[in-house]
Amino acid sequence: MKALFIAAAAFSVLVLSGCASQGELDKTNIQLKTLEERITAVDSRAAQLEKTRTDARAMDFARFCFSNNMAFSEGSIYAGRICQRQAGIMVYQDGKQVVQPLVWNVWKYQ
């Protein structure tokens, strides 16, 4: 029994001799934590950029009418339609007036 225990202990020492020391383990843990922090920062930045892009797209619809992948400013007439804001609607969000998007309406020549 004692010989079996000694053999198992010797085997364990041989197998574990390739393992990292405590200092190497601490260094690796610090590197992992640093990488996790960087990944979190990159995720946060990506979310911020996506929100900015979405907001910019919403602003485009507030500034332009689109037809055939072309942008037209307010008052533009194209194919019998005029680009203008919807009248009579006011929307407020967080105490500020939200700019209504431009839409195509039928243009009646005057």
Do 30 and 57 belong together in one domain?
A: yes
Summarised one tens digit per residue, pLDDT across range 62-91 is 788 888 888 898 889 998 899 988 776 677
Across 87-105, average pLDDT: 78
Do 105 and 72 belong together in one domain?
A: yes
The pLDDT, as a whole number, for residue 91 is 73
- Distance between CA atoms of residues 84 and 105, nearest Å: 7
Phi, psi of 20 (to 5 degrees): -75, 150
Do 68 and 110 belong together in one domain?
A: yes
Q: What is the pTM of this model?
A: 0.43
Contact (Cβ atoms closer than 8 angstroms) between residue 107 and residue 82? yes
Q: Is residue 1 part of a domain?
A: no
